[in-house]
């Protein structure tokens, strides 16, 4: 079984297309779970009235993407978990193609990245997450025309959770006291952190181009300055958890320091992000001390 976990937040204008694209697949044994983060636009009522087969988890408030995904994973029964944003629409052969790949899959694969195209179907949204020498995380192929250059199955650093498959056994192995996805992140970079943790445990991430879906992006309409704050904070959360200082000296001097200065000028919340990072760093040190004999 595959369990599909969809996050909604004021998503009534997107959720029909998303759910219909799943229900119209020519496969069975697909479990549908929607986690709603406090919508007030009728999303919950629409799902209840039109999709009784959906298991619906209703949060009174916006708990963030990380916690909402964890809530879905906790009740899921599938061997594989498909994380979807509410504005993702699956290609008609999506599940047939992914199941053909699952039949011949190496047991060490813990994450699978479908090919995510932008809503128009011609431009790449993500062919997986990569990490550069400067410790920048980016979506492979983002913004490029889809001309077949990303049509080979290859190993990648990680999977973009807008549309990503996670092996449930892997999730159980790498789960922390902050959840499968680290709930301290709230939103953004939680997929990069999970991918990195999985890689350190020996799990592979695989790009599967035959499984295609279409993504609008930023359906929650999060304001730019809030996204900047979360991106800045959560990038450092990810690096502090998973990287070593020696790998980070040059990236800090040539990328992060100029970026920090610039963002601090244009976005006052950058200072709060830096403060949050220091608090987070101290909490990691405290946890390390507790774990030492």
Per-residue DSSP letters for the chain? -EEEEEEESS-TTTHHHHHHHHHTSS---EEEEEEEES--SSHHHHHHHH-TTSEEEEESS---HHHHHHHHHHH---SEEEEEETTEEE-TTHHHHHHHHHHT--TTEEEEEEEEEETTSSBEEES-EEE-TT--EEETTTT-B-SSTT-S-EEESB--TTEEEEEHHHHHHH-BTTBTTTGGG-SSSHHHHHHHHHHHTT-EEEEEEEEEEEE---TT---HHHHHHHHHHHHHHHHHHH--GGGTHHHIIIIIHHHHHHHHHH-THHHHHHHHHHHHHHHHHHHHHHH--
Structure tokens at 86: 């509410």
pLDDT at position 291? 40
pLDDT at position 274? 80
Compute the average pLDDT of residues 184-212: 97
Q: Which residues, other chains included, contact 239 with Cβ-Cβ below 8 Å and sequence gap of 6+?
A: 135, 248
pLDDT at position 285? 58
| pLDDT of 163 over the 80 cut | yes
Compute the average pLDDT of residues 273-291: 66
pLDDT at position 255? 80
pLDDT at position 207? 97
Mean pLDDT, the chain, rounded, equals 91
- Could you tell me the pTM of the whole model? 0.90
Digit-coded pLDDT (tens) for 257-269: 888 788 878 777 8
Domains delineated in the chain: 2-215 (3.90.550.10), 224-291 (no CATH)
Digit-coded pLDDT (tens) for 61-112: 999 999 999 999 999 999 999 999 999 999 999 999 999 898 888 889 999 9
Share of the chain above pLDDT 90, in %: 71
Q: How far apart are CA 60 and CA 284, in angstroms?
A: 30
CA distances from 186 to 37, 153, 209, 246 (A): 12, 31, 29, 28
């Amino acid at each position: 079984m595959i369990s599909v976990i969809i996050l909604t937040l004021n998503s009534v204008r997107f959720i029909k297309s998303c759910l219909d694209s799943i229900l119209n697949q020519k496969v069975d044994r697909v479990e549908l779970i929607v986690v709603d983060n406090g919508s007030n636009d009728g999303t919950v009522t629409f799902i209840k009235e039109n999709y009784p087969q959906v298991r619906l988890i209703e949060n009174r408030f916006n708990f963030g993407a990380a916690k909402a995904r964890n809530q879905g994973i906790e009740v899921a029964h599938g061997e594989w978990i498909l994380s979807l944003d509410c504005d993702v629409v699956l290609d008609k052969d999506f599940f047939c193609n992914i199941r053909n790949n699952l039949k011949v899959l190496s047991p060490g694969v813990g994450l699978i990245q479908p090919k995510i195209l932008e809503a128009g179907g011609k431009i790449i949204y993500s062919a997986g997450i990569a990490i550069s020498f400067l410790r920048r995380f980016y979506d492979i192929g983002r913004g490029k025309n889809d001309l077949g250059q990303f049509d080979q199955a290859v190993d990648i650093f990680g999977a973009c959770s807008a549309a990503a498959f996670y092996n449930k056994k892997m999730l159980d192995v790498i789960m922390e006291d902050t959840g499968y996805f680290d709930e301290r992140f709230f939103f953004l970079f939680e997929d990069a952190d999970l991918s990195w943790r999985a890689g350190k445990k020996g799990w592979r991430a695989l790009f599967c181009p035959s499984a295609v879906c279409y993504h609008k992006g930023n359906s929650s309409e999060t304001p730019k300055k809030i996204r900047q704050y979360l991106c800045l904070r959560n990038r450092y959360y990810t690096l502090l958890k998973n990287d070593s200082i020696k790998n980070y000296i040059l990236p800090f001097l040539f990328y992060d320091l100029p970026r920090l200065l610039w963002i601090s000028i244009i976005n006052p919340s950058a200072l709060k992000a830096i403060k949050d990072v220091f608090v987070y760093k101290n909490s990691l040190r405290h946890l390390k001390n507790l774990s030492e004999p």
